[in-house]
Amino acid sequence: MEPDVVAFLEEIIETGFVWDEPGLADLAGRLAALGGSPVAELAHGFAGLGLRLGMGEVPEPLRREVEAVVYPRLWKVLEAVKAGLPEGEQRARVQVLNRRLARLLAAEADEYSNFIPRPFTGA
């Protein structure tokens, strides 16, 4: 893996997470530009989070949960890249991060859907 990928991942961790839609779109774009590398698949998770930001303000508890997933999982990806682990292992770590992000966002959607009035279907 190229050293610029390692530097890029370290930059994400050091500068802090981006909580604005254009910033996440830029991050996802920069990751996608890495081509066929496993790290490029991180773009999917961050793009999904960008879509969520486009829907409105993210509540503070959800922000904390997202950061609690992103930082340690991103660190695991960085470790795999630095150690030169096989692409399959790197991809597995990326997929775990993406799945956990997706679950958080889906859980929020499920929680919200409980408050949407449903039409009465009769008894």
Query: Could you tell me if residue 10 is inside a domain?
Result: yes
pLDDT of residue 57: 87
Query: Could you tell me if residue 122 is inside a domain?
Result: no
CA distances for 24 relative to 31, 51, 81, 121, angstroms: 10, 9, 22, 41
Domain holding 101, by residue range, is 3-113
Domain tally, the chain: 1
Site of tokens 């449903």: 118
Query: Could you tell me if residue 119 is inside a domain?
Result: no
pLDDT in tens, 4-27: 777 877 887 888 777 878 888 888
Query: Could you tell me if residue 15 is inside a domain?
Result: yes
pLDDT of residue 15: 81
pLDDT in tens, 22-60: 888 888 888 888 888 888 899 999 888 888 888 888 889
Query: Could you tell me if residue 29 is inside a domain?
Result: yes
Task: Kindly give the residue spans of alpha helices, DSSP state H, lying in the chain.
Answer: 3-15, 21-32, 42-54, 60-82, 87-113
pTM of the model: 0.81
The predicted model gives 116-123 an average pLDDT of 58
pLDDT at 118 over 80: no
Query: Could you tell me if residue 118 is inside a domain?
Result: no
pLDDT in tens, 60-107: 999 999 999 999 999 999 999 889 999 999 999 999 999 999 999 888
Query: Could you tell me if residue 109 is inside a domain?
Result: yes
Token pair, residue 14, equals 């050091």
Query: Could you tell me if residue 36 is inside a domain?
Result: yes
